[in-house]
Structure 1
């Protein structure tokens, strides 16, 4: 009998746990761990993370895992919840295209929590996280509609990262718990009942989206633990009549995306790092605005700005236009096309715009709001054609002398076609980490993370991680 897709994923996970992955894949994942922990450290003072830390502290339980901002160790699922929440709190986490997932923020915190509990080696941890991310991305791609060039999950108001990430987190956790292929298949079946998340907050506000990756990481650890203790899941959980993809995507899914080239083609090296701490749909507009700035365009001479984006992006960063021109908070500013263009023209921290551009005070700055008021967000046919394998944009500045200047960005900075250099990735990490720790602590943490592929242990990096919030 042909193995089901879930069984094929379970078999891959068990095989990789036994045989390991290549040095290139492990090194790529180490860079993602570096990126994620930098994002976590930068988010220590964020309110949603404070809320989650308070909740898990009230839960208590067996001390097993390190949660950033809490001195005492927590149960592994609780540590995963805290760190996953931190990882996604600033929308600075990496992105897989065209599925539009943030897989590392759901999977790595789960893997980190279980690896700490089990004393896993660095290579074993990196292998498990890589497979978990692979599962997450493949599930996201199974719900990607090629004809309409859009995620079915997102089209139905669902946060694919949280939903698919719970399953990937379960696979990573299961590998680190030493589960066999059958048990990992059950962990997949269990996690498929746990993933959740809706994205209405992107449109009209609320901070609930920031916990989605944490909850996925938490669910994944719990699913793997339940499988370890004998709970079982259906082997047809992905493709079945009442299975995961049917439930979330109706009949609009492609199950072959889950299994095609499995174990031969890996998604992880193609996942985009984010240079700016804002919604990824806004990045090309930021790049275009930075080009205008470098070209010497004086913002005071701009009478109008037209931001052309892919048509599906309008609902996230351009509508309702009144909300986007007047963000309610710094967080909501990160989902605004008009505001992020203004921030790039007038700000300039980090790699172009940085955290200080997304404070509540920054989004109330009269100069930035005056620029945002001049921005019209429209659908651009060429951008729509390219999307979502890239998140392109075209920005046209109309000047007071009647002339115009247009900048078109077709390939996102941070992706395989326009990658961040090692220096830029390190700058992003240190800029993030030093918001919470001294520079020498950040340097020690980076060194420990880069040793993971060559045999360092996960527990080696934990003494460098602060345990008190900022």
Structure 2
């Protein structure tokens, strides 16, 4: 049998494996930081109320059924909107794939090699499907296509043959491309943080049915009402070409990815002109289009300040100058209620006057100071890849937010897990996860 491309860890180039190692460490660290989110805590309380199970949720004492554990872990990873983004497909892969492969492994006693294959499959498929479908009105593609990627990831971890993997995806069609997912962003609702997990919950459930011989519609991909109607796309086409993980970027800022280039340009200007009292006006130039429109509006606290801030270029740049930083501590500390930032945001205007772009791209920022005007441009940061040194700083910041007693040690342990993942047998995988992402009780015992 000819092995399908972009399905197996062993079939990837080493630099692609390294990207997935970075992604896994990033996701698990973000899950730790997610435990400090009040919104995530409420979600976990709701999930606990509907029943327990045998799948451990990282960094917590929760044990839930596999589908429910997927929602919990996904919410923790996505809680601060700090997780990865495929800049062309516009999807967060880890919040769908990582919770799914961990839960699938726990239900079947799978080893690290199977988990690694599930990571490869899920990251590639979610990104490829999102690029194939393109933007759709009202659709957040992470939530809109997450069920299919999760189904394929779980089925791969369970070692199902390709025809059953495809049936798992076909059964997930009922949760695909819902045109209301984007309303959460428009309204500034924390529901955005939950949607990837709910999609993945549907997907792992569909995969369990496919494993028992349940079949989905044959036209799920290119049929009249499939994902890409009339395209003629086939199963094999999904795995052709380059590994999609090549274009997955790890976020340097806890914010909507569309704000990142403006933040990078503003940081450069802030370093040269650090005193807000000297700044008369800040003007930001970003591409035309509806995606950038969401982050370009004047800042307004509509009752969900976390989401409103993370989708507001004016607020983020104001925070950068007023407090000297924009990072996870900005959101986790008391800065969301800082009236000085809200007042400063009124002096930051955003103009959508750059050419429209089908992908996330750069921005230009101008400041008018008491001594004159200054301008800088920045490409989308992180698109060129992330080093372990850069990721280490991010991981340690996440662990500090999670009140971890030794972030440096925990960061090393997470990296060791990622580096040795394909070599771990099933008991070794369980032990490594418990050591690297310990329960609350385990962490208390270590202190």
**TM-score, normalising length: structure 2:** 0.89
1:295 deviates by 1.5
1:285 deviates by 1.1
Structure 1 distance, partners of 2:244, 2:123, is 8
Residue in 1 aligned with 2:439?
Answer: 467
1:369 aligned to 2:342?
Answer: yes
1:33 deviates by 0.6
1:57 aligned to 2:51?
Answer: no
Where 2:375 maps in the other structure, the secondary structure is: strand
Residue in 1 aligned with 2:151?
Answer: 170
1:281-430 equivalences under 5 Å are 281-312=258-289, 313-319=291-297, 321=298, 323=300, 328-349=304-325, 353-359=326-332, 361-382=334-355, 384=356, 387-401=357-371, 403-409=372-378, 411-416=379-384, 419-430=385-396
Does the 8 A contact of 1:274 with 1:280 survive in 2? yes
Cα distance change on mapping 1:370 and 1:126 into 2, 3 Å: same
1:40 deviates by 0.9
Structure 2 distance, partners of 1:297, 1:348, is 8
1:121 deviates by 2.6
Where 1:233 maps in the other structure, the secondary structure is: coil
Structure 1 distance, partners of 2:333, 2:303, is 9
Does the 8 A contact of 1:293 with 1:345 survive in 2? yes
Determine which of 33, 36, 39 is the counterpart of 1:45: 36
1:31 aligned to 2:22?
Answer: yes
1:67 deviates by 1.0
Residue in 2 aligned with 1:223?
Answer: 206
Gaps of 5+ in 2: none
1:157 aligned to 2:138?
Answer: yes
Residue in 1 aligned with 2:92?
Answer: 102
Cα distance change on mapping 1:337 and 1:120 into 2, 3 Å: same
Does the 8 A contact of 1:56 with 1:78 survive in 2? yes
**TM-score, normalising length: structure 1:** 0.85
1:12 aligned to 2:4?
Answer: yes
Does the 8 A contact of 2:81 with 2:254 survive in 1? yes
1:269 deviates by 2.3
Determine which of 71, 76, 79 is the counterpart of 2:61: 71
Question: Which has the higher mean CA deviation after the structures are superposed, 445-454 or 294-303?
Answer: 445-454
1:308 deviates by 0.7
Question: Which has the higher mean CA deviation after the structures are superposed, 262-271 or 85-94?
Answer: 262-271
Structure 1 distance, partners of 2:119, 2:383, is 20
1:289 deviates by 1.2
Residue in 2 aligned with 1:205?
Answer: 188
1:204 deviates by 2.5
RMSD between superposed Cα atoms in Å: 2.7
Q: How big is each residue's C-alpha offset from its partner over 1:131-164, in whole Å with a ceiling of 9 and x where there is no partner?
A: 11111111111122xxxxxx2x2xx111110111
1:190 aligned to 2:163?
Answer: no
Structure 2 distance, partners of 1:377, 1:269, is 31
Structure 2 distance, partners of 1:217, 1:38, is 20
Structure 2 distance, partners of 1:328, 1:52, is 16
1:140 aligned to 2:130?
Answer: yes
Does the 8 A contact of 2:93 with 2:127 survive in 1? yes
Residue in 2 aligned with 1:180?
Answer: 161
Cα distance change on mapping 1:200 and 1:119 into 2, 3 Å: same
1:458 aligned to 2:429?
Answer: yes
Structure 2 distance, partners of 1:90, 1:272, is 16
1:18 deviates by 10
Structure 2 distance, partners of 1:400, 1:18, is 56
Residue in 1 aligned with 2:418?
Answer: 449
Question: Which has the higher mean CA deviation after the structures are superposed, 300-309 or 452-461?
Answer: 452-461
Cα distance change on mapping 1:327 and 1:355 into 2, 3 Å: farther
